[in-house]
Structure 1
Amino acid sequence: MFDVFFQSAAWLIDTFYDWVGEYTVAISMVSVAIMLLITPLTLKSTKGMLEMQRLQPEMKRLQNEFRGDRQQLNQEMMKLYQEHKVNPLASCLPLLAQMPVFIIMFQVLSGLTRKGADGTFDPKYIPEDTALYQSLDKATEMLSFGLNLAVTPAEAMGDNFVKGLPYALLIVALGGLFFVQQRMVASRAVSPTMSPMQAKIMQYLPVAFAVFQVFLPTSLVAYYMVQAIFRIVQQGYITRRFYGENGLGREAQEASVKAREIGKDDSAKSSKQKNEQKQAPAPIQSKRVTPGKNRPTPSGRPARPVPPSKRNK
């Protein structure tokens, strides 16, 4: 069922390989082609996210106004989104598109270097008459620029640490690219303040991504390295387009600051009300007075004596 996607990706790699005759360059060209296809979604999601941020003051007011009525709040939120033509799920589009692409590329690159019973490659997903198949068939390595793209960096460093150093440098370079990309995004964040936990997560996220790549085929590491370079260029373009002097990003930043001020004012009012309630004197409660024996009750009648049989109970 899914073979058609795998075969299409393998055909694309073979097409570029037929042009350039180099595995890494062919994979890099596929990476660039995929990023070019996803770029419109990225720009659309960025614009949608900034438009959502620009509505934060209005959203905060609605949350304060309908705090006790969740259903009414959701209705008012939907009206606000429709009025400004905003899709709250738009920012998820690039991520949703990237997940199946990763699965396809992982499956294809692993299938191209699938080994048969004799320990040599038995390429999958491409016809036998293609240039890529013929170059890999009965081979034991997928060599490109001195690296075996068929093994993972962990395997290469485990077999021979000295020969595995280029693979380690590749991972370090990829982690550096992830870090640069993350810093570019963080520098223009519309919510400048974040919790210490969020700051720690953002700080170590590039390291986590780089460590994850150690256990993937080196061909896929090369694919992601080209994507990381492309994203850095893409983020630079987004910064120039949306974060100029009168850009949507600047408006979103100002709206975010305004929304935080509204939130602080609301918190201060709530705290003040709670303090006033605590300091308010408690209402005086009248104590019930039980008349003594044979003493007149408030109605003027003497209290009824207690029978001897009930006095000791």
Structure 2
Amino acid sequence: MSLMKTRRGKWFLLLGVMVLMIAVLSGCAPSSTVTHTTEDLKNGGFWQSNVVYYFAIALDTFAEWFNGQYGFAVLVMVIIVRTLILPLTMKQVKSSRAMQAIQPELEKIKKKYKDTPEKVQQETMRLFQENKVNPMAGCLPLIVQMPIFIALYNSIYYNPSLREHSFLWLQLGKPDHLFILPLLAAATTFLQTRMMTKMNPVQQQGPMQFMMMVYPVLIFIMSYNFPSALPLYWFYSNLYTIIQNYFLYRNNDKAKLAVATAGAGSGNAKEVNLVKTKNTNARKDVTPAAKGNSSKGKKEAKKSK
């Protein structure tokens, strides 16, 4: 029960982060006073001059590398950001594998203390601490990226070059009302979440199934209402995550297969040993009997003589 509470807390936190991000981004759009150039951000507040300004400069610089294509500039931004938070992702993977490893112990705790939920919670937390498992580790990458989403959102409005730029069928400063990008962002979000449920079946129960349906819907709604540059960032980020998780988790299946093969092999070996033991015992049982019968036969032969 405590484990389920932990999982619910984790995914409700993710849902809360998404709702908070919607609220913050909705209030981040500039008022009637629109900044006309990126350099004007230097004279803005702390957030504009120290965060948004450098995001806008970075996007301008990346766009220059691709002849003014801001769509590719957003891709470079994704690669840089996701690479910087890779240590957090690795920590998440490590925690996920540790959670899988201690699952049998968690089941024992739930069965042993099924009538005392408080004891279940205490023993579960003790087990987490002993094995250095953090159930909330999966939230860290999303929480860390939240300021980046907000800064990118602001840099779109404060950067007229990006706001008016077209990339493929998109105008990056306006929502994509053709539904193409929102659908791509939602579909890759669902695929990413679905991929995680298969890679970590132990943790992906209950709340995760709920989030697997709700999270893509939230992404679709936001992608339909926000400037296209932001859902484009999500789409790129989802693709990065899918490829990353493939390489990070692909050894899981190999390890499971090796364990299963080893288990089957040991089982076959046990069966062979059992058969050998039975045969040996049978020979031991038969040999004395044969000797006894032969001796009796000799005695009867002597008597007949």
Distance of 2:54 and 2:203 partners within structure 1: 43
Distance of 2:124 and 2:204 partners within structure 1: 25
1:153 match: secondary structure: coil
State the identity as a percent: 28
1:176 match: secondary structure: helix
Distance of 2:204 and 2:150 partners within structure 1: 35
| Match of residue 54 from structure 2 | 8
Shift of 1:74: 5.2
Provide closer, same or farther for how the CA distance between residues 40 and 151 of structure 1 changes in structure 2, counting only shifts above 3 A.
Answer: same
Provide closer, same or farther for how the CA distance between residues 211 and 71 of structure 1 changes in structure 2, counting only shifts above 3 A.
Answer: closer
Shift of 1:224: 1.6
| Match of residue 81 from structure 1 | 128
Provide closer, same or farther for how the CA distance between residues 49 and 71 of structure 1 changes in structure 2, counting only shifts above 3 A.
Answer: same
Distance of 2:97 and 2:170 partners within structure 1: 42
Provide closer, same or farther for how the CA distance between residues 78 and 189 of structure 1 changes in structure 2, counting only shifts above 3 A.
Answer: closer
Cα deviation, 1:127-184, whole Å, max 9, x if unaligned, reads xxxxxxxx56xxx822333532111124xxxxxxxxxx4xx22223333322332332
| Match of residue 110 from structure 1 | 157
How many residue pairs get matched?
Answer: 213
Q: Which has a greater percent of helix?
A: 2
AA aligned opposite 1:187: K
Q: Does 1:143 align with 2:190?
A: no
Give the one of 223, 233, 256 matched to 1:213: 223
1:279-294 superposed matches below 5 A: none
Cα deviation, 1:61-99, whole Å, max 9, x if unaligned, reads 334445566666555444433432333432322122122
1:1-313 superposed matches below 5 A: 1-3=46-48, 4-20=50-66, 21-66=68-113, 75-113=122-160, 135=161, 141-154=164-177, 165=178, 168-191=179-202, 194=205, 199=209, 202-203=212-213, 205-246=215-256
The answer (yes or no) to whether the contact 1:241–1:247 under 8 Å persists in 2 is no
AA aligned opposite 1:144: F
Provide closer, same or farther for how the CA distance between residues 98 and 214 of structure 1 changes in structure 2, counting only shifts above 3 A.
Answer: same
Shift of 1:16: 1.0
Structure 2 spans left out of the alignment, 5+ residues: 1-45, 261-305
Distance of 1:26 and 1:49 partners within structure 2: 33
1:87 match: secondary structure: coil
AA aligned opposite 2:61: T
Shift of 1:215: 0.4
Larger Rg: 1
